[in-house]
């Protein structure tokens, strides 16, 4: 029995301190609310600790290792390139620690209390926060749930020392000789490519017709070409059947082209999607509406059917993206403060940190036509850009989708170096209601990759300079 569990009163309780939760907590505090954020793991959530940030660090280290081998076409050759993977992991950890420490500082600087523990809802204004030893009651006027998601575990591929989820793959203390990746989405492709850069023999098994199904085939073809250059093998329309763990590896059985195949490797990485963390919060206790997949249903202000409870990030429908969660966190916090804030996914970018990088925002040509628009799709190749050539990264293109009647920019897709950075300008163009002419008349510095945006806009206007119409 807990003695002296007097309720702590709050304006707003935030459950989860990932990129949705910590941003929501800070914005809520900025509007004058008394805020506490509860996190059962480490501040920063999956993204900062075992997701976006460490994976990008590992990808970058892989690129550095590849580049260290030199480039004969540029007259650069090297010998005896080595990698100390324990130091790679140490450096990756230092990046994570700087960011998580920074987030803690930001929360404290905005007078947000950070509490370690797990939350269980008692009613629409009350939760119990429990750790290993104690239970504390909190009452609130409003609550923002931001508990994120976890990897889906296949019944025939139970996680172990050799059967890995994304967290396990990021924590290896060795570079595997061979790795099988089940699932060719962005997580599997990114991590598979990262290890392939270090020399691992990677096999990707994808059940659909192609990897990276959310992106245009012309874009994914560039990634497949680079993966094959790294020695990776991609098997599509492949259904993983099961795994047998051996003394020092795994045997993975899969079916492809009507035949059963077996492949041996050191590890198998399973990346077949993620599921929302909504099943251990006691949400049924307060009647929060969820669909059959466990996603919480929300309105335009991220409010659930229970007027005091809001939900954001991976636990609501839509792409499981950190920047979506952060955006929704701000909307929820501002809505609680009485501001006229609503979610608008007009220009939410999607990025795959593959080689080359892929990025998409707004409509594709296909989705625009399905939505009833008459459009032009205007493409400019990286190979016609001086900066791309000087980087020896000439593969790729930028495609702008414009409305035929007035040149309004309604979408863009980029495949090439720094696509993740370049896409923001196109997102701004969509949000601001800009036309191809607006982009074309914006003077871009030379020589830069950013000029490709200007050049594609000129293609849309019918007057390109650096390619022949």
Binding-site entries: 56, 147-149, 183-190, 206, 273, 314
Task: Please give the C-alpha separations between residue 270 and each of 160, 166, 216, 264, in angstroms, as whole numbers.
Answer: 11, 7, 24, 15
- Alpha carbons 281 and 120: distance in angstroms, whole number: 5
User: Token match 């690129």: residue?
Assistant: 63
Structure tokens at 258: 């009507």
Annotated binding site for FAD: 56, 147-149, 314
Q: Catalytic residue at 67?
A: no
Residue 416: name the closest of 453, 362, 442, 446 by CA.
453
- Confirm if 361 and 350 have CB atoms less than 8 A apart: yes
164 vs 171: CA distance, rounded Å? 10
| Catalytic site residue from 69, 444, 446, 466 | 446
Q: CA–CA separation, 408 vs 429, rounded Å?
A: 9
Quick check: 188 and 169 in contact, CB under 8 A? no
The residue among 460, 419, 414, 424 whose CA lies nearest residue 440 is 460
Cα(174)–Cα(418) distance, rounded to whole angstroms?
A: 29
Residues 201 and 195 sit within 8 Å (Cβ to Cβ): no
Q: How many residues does the chain have?
A: 469
Binding residues for NAD(+): 183-190, 206, 273
Which residues on adjacent β-strands are paired with residue 411? 362, 401
Positions annotated as catalytic residues are: 446
């Amino acid at each position: 029995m807990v003695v002296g569990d007097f309720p702590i009163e709050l304006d707003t309780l935030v459950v989860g301190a990932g990129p949705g939760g910590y941003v929501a907590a800070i914005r809520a505090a900025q509007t004058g609310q008394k805020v506490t954020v509860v996190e059962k793991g480490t501040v920063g959530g999956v993204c900062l600790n075992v997701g976006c940030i460490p994976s990008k660090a590992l990808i970058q280290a892989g690129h550095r290792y590849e580049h260290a081998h030199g480039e004969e076409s540029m007259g650069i050759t090297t010998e005896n390139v080595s990698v100390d993977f324990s130091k790679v992991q140490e450096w990756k950890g230092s990046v994570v620690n700087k960011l998580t420490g920074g987030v803690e500082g930001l929360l404290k600087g905005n007078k947000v209390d950070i509490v370690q523990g797990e939350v269980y809802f008692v009613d629409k204004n009350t939760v119990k926060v429990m750790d290993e030893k104690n239970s504390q009651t909190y009452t609130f006027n409003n609550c923002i749930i931001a508990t994120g998601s976890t990897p889906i575990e296949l019944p025939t591929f139970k996680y172990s020392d050799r059967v890995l989820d994304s967290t396990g793959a990021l924590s290896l203390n060795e570079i595997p000789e061979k790795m099988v990746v089940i699932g060719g989405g962005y997580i599997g492709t990114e991590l598979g490519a990262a290890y392939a850069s270090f020399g691992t023999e990677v096999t990707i098994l994808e059940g659909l017709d192609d990897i990276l199904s959310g992106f245009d085939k012309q874009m994914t073809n560039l990634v497949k070409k680079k993966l094959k250059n790294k020695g990776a093998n991609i098997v599509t329309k492949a259904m993983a059947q099961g795994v047998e763990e051996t003394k020092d590896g795994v045997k993975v059985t899969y079916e492809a082209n009507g035949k059963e195949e077996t492949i041996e490797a050191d590890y198998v990485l399973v990346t077949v999607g993620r599921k929302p963390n909504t099943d251990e919060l006691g949400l049924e206790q307060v009647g929060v509406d969820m669909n059959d997949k466990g996603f919480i249903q929300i309105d335009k202000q991220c409010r659930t059917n229970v007027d005091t409870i809001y939900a954001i990030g991976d636990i609501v429908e839509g792409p499981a993206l950190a920047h979506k969660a952060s955006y929704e966190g701000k909307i929820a916090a501002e809505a609680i403060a009485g501001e006229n804030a609503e979610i608008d996914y007009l220009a939410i970018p999607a990025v795959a940190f593959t080689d080359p990088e892929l990025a998409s925002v707004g409509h594709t040509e296909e989705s625009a036509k399905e939505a009833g628009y008459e459009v032009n799709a205007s493409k400019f190749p990286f190979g016609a850009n001086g900066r791309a050539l000087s980087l020896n990264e000439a593969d790729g293109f930028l495609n702008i989708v414009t409305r035929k009647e007035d040149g309004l920019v309604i979408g863009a897709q980029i495949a090439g170096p720094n696509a993740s950075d370049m896409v923001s300008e196109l997102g701004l163009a969509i949000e601001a209601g800009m036309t191809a002419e607006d982009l074309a008349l914006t003077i871009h510095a030379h020589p830069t990759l950013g000029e490709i945006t200007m050049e594609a806009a000129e293609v849309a206007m019918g007057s390109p300079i650096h390619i022949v119409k």
